[in-house]
Structure 1
Amino acid sequence: MKAISSRDNPLVKRLHALATSGRERRKLGETLLDGPHLLQAALECSYPLKGLVVSASGVDKAEIAALLHEVGSDVPCHVLPDSLFAHVSPVDTPSGLLAIIDLPAAKSLGTIVENVVVLDGVQDPGNLGTILRTAAAAGVRHVLLADGCAGAWSPRVLRAGMGAHFVLDVHERVDAATWLRGFGGPVLATALSADARSLYELDLRAPVAWVFGGEGRGVSSEVMACATRHVLIPMPGAIESLNVGAAVAVCLFEQARQRSLR
């Protein structure tokens, strides 16, 4: 392991750029994994690592030491003083361990005959990461992000996703309306419209495209026009709406419940 102590070091500047700027992440084609859990998830899926960075205090933590040993000497590793590590950390509470990875290459978006989640304008990194984690847990493999969503591979979304990125097919900057018009199955969008049917009245055993909108404006009118059914989540309490992450969880696991009974 090589020690670095200066903010002027090129690697430190690169790390800080990756931690703070989506433009720099796209320019460099890289991003950061924060924490032992994400690194372990990447290793389990054999995702290639470009470098490791550990804080001076993190070196002595058993969990981090075990991961460094597992990675071995083939991946460059640098040690930073705790204060400098905090400077390059993408989160407010530094974990003591960062990994540099390449952003995945964009994949062509062909025909999908399985369940798919389409997100329109989900801007909050925590919500987006939570939705990706929920989709993976519910057995949904495909997630499409329209323009206006947070960057799927930003460090904060990665941290909230807790490793879901490595088992999902995530497509960004998708023309959602055009793609949905070519989808062969039902397109379900959560809405409070008069024609919306209760989630629990629907037969969800066949593959569908789930459409969820952003935290403020919801689903755009262009994307909503592609929905073949508006879905209402019954809420007997005194609250009119759910956080988008909670709404996704309710819908996907109701579908998972129905499919488990088949």
Structure 2
Amino acid sequence: MNMDFNVVTSRANARVKQLRAAFAGQARLSGGMVAIEGDHLLEEALRSGMVLKTVFVSERRSVPGIVPRSVEVLRLAQDVFQSVVETQSPQGVAALLVPPVRTLEAVLGAASEAAPLILIACGLQDPGNLGTLVRSAEAFGATGVITTPGTVSAWNQKALRASVGSVFRMPVVSATLDEVAGLRARGVRLLAAVGAEGDAAQGVDFARACALMIGNEGQGLAAEWLEIADGQVTIPCPGPVESLNAGVAGSLLLYEASRQRTRV
């Protein structure tokens, strides 16, 4: 039942501390909860079937009508609300949600669906790039996204905002080098995205089961990832640039894969 009768004025309130920890990415202190902020992400979370734990609203605004009556609602004093959220101009609404548990099986997709199309983020550190790639993965029909050790969390606040809600629906799982290499035994080709010297994307067969490995923004793919790759793919660029931004490169490759699969 909604509980918006009293205004919380203490920054030491247990729920407020939990929300603050969630925004900071402190899983243990947040009880494993994920924090979201703003009307759009709240709407996307509910539309995607996410389980909300608590909704927080500033005393200066009303409770969004889309919030189910079964969800706990806390109204916060304006200064308390602003002390917790991360944006410069908060919209006055935030929430704690239970993150979905995804598996590699979900990333591979159901057997009845088309061949898996997976994006693997290998050591990406820019949350904006990761969020963009999760959004592009959903837009271009990928079956899932894999993040490897050293990659920023898809639940990072900047990654969440960059995904514009796609992270709620797109399966995103963490995997080790060995687990990624194990995809080959399941019929998935591992394709390493490189700046040059790879096969031009237009000439690569993306219609078959495959996984696109996108490397770190500064160093690209580390040697261990290149060693397990079945092939290397590049995006021909007539302009005088060394390489593309990781988010742009991954999105273009996903588009090419989608284009080929739609044509088949």
Where on the TM-score scale, by shorter chain, does this alignment land: which range? 0.7 to 0.9
Letter in 1 for 2:228: C
CA deviation after TM superposition for structure 1 residue 111, in Å = 8.6
> Are 1:80 and 2:76 counterparts?
yes
- What is the aligned partner in structure 1 of residue 142 from structure 2? 140
Question: Structure 2 stretches of 5 or more lacking a match?
Answer: 109-114
**Matched-pair contact (CA < 8 Å) for 1:31–1:155:** no
| Higher deviation after alignment, 143-152 or 75-84 | 75-84
| Aligned partner (choices 249, 255, 261) of residue 253 of structure 1 | 255
CA deviation after TM superposition for structure 1 residue 208, in Å = 1.2
- What is the aligned partner in structure 2 of residue 225 from structure 1? 227
Secondary structure, in 3 states, of the residue corresponding to 2:228?
A: coil
**Matched-pair contact (CA < 8 Å) for 2:195–2:244:** no
Letter in 2 for 1:69: G
CA distance, structure 1, for counterparts of residue 32 and residue 154 of structure 2: 13
CA distance, structure 1, for counterparts of residue 71 and residue 107 of structure 2: 37
CA deviation after TM superposition for structure 1 residue 49, in Å = 0.8
Letter in 2 for 1:39: L
- What is the aligned partner in structure 2 of residue 10 from structure 1? 14
Instruction: Name the % identity.
Output: 31
CA distance, structure 2, for counterparts of residue 156 and residue 171 of structure 1: 18
C-alpha root-mean-square deviation of aligned residues, in Å? 2.1
CA distance, structure 1, for counterparts of residue 27 and residue 66 of structure 2: 32
Once the two structures are superposed, residues 112-133 of structure 1 have per-residue CA deviations (whole angstroms, 9 ceiling, x without a partner) of 3511111110111111111101
**Matched-pair contact (CA < 8 Å) for 1:91–1:156:** no
Secondary structure, in 3 states, of the residue corresponding to 1:257?
A: helix
Secondary structure, in 3 states, of the residue corresponding to 2:119?
A: strand
* Correspondence list, 1:3-152, <5 A: 3-24=7-28, 28-59=31-62, 65=63, 68-105=64-101, 107=103, 109=105, 112=108, 113-152=115-154
CA distance, structure 2, for counterparts of residue 72 and residue 110 of structure 1: 28
CA distance, structure 1, for counterparts of residue 190 and residue 204 of structure 2: 12
Letter in 2 for 1:8: A
CA distance, structure 1, for counterparts of residue 152 and residue 187 of structure 2: 27
Secondary structure, in 3 states, of the residue corresponding to 2:159?
A: helix
Distance 1:58 1:245, change over 3 A: farther
| Higher deviation after alignment, 100-109 or 80-89 | 100-109
CA distance, structure 1, for counterparts of residue 168 and residue 23 of structure 2: 20
CA deviation after TM superposition for structure 1 residue 24, in Å = 3.8
**Matched-pair contact (CA < 8 Å) for 2:107–2:172:** no
**Matched-pair contact (CA < 8 Å) for 1:144–1:174:** no
CA deviation after TM superposition for structure 1 residue 9, in Å = 1.7
CA deviation after TM superposition for structure 1 residue 81, in Å = 2.7
Secondary structure, in 3 states, of the residue corresponding to 2:11?
A: coil
CA distance, structure 2, for counterparts of residue 219 and residue 106 of structure 1: 25
CA distance, structure 1, for counterparts of residue 253 and residue 26 of structure 2: 31
Distance 1:236 1:142, change over 3 A: same
- What is the aligned partner in structure 1 of residue 188 from structure 2? 185
CA distance, structure 2, for counterparts of residue 8 and residue 185 of structure 1: 50
CA distance, structure 2, for counterparts of residue 18 and residue 110 of structure 1: 25
CA deviation after TM superposition for structure 1 residue 142, in Å = 1.1
Secondary structure, in 3 states, of the residue corresponding to 2:259?
A: helix
CA distance, structure 1, for counterparts of residue 195 and residue 172 of structure 2: 28
CA deviation after TM superposition for structure 1 residue 166, in Å = 2.2
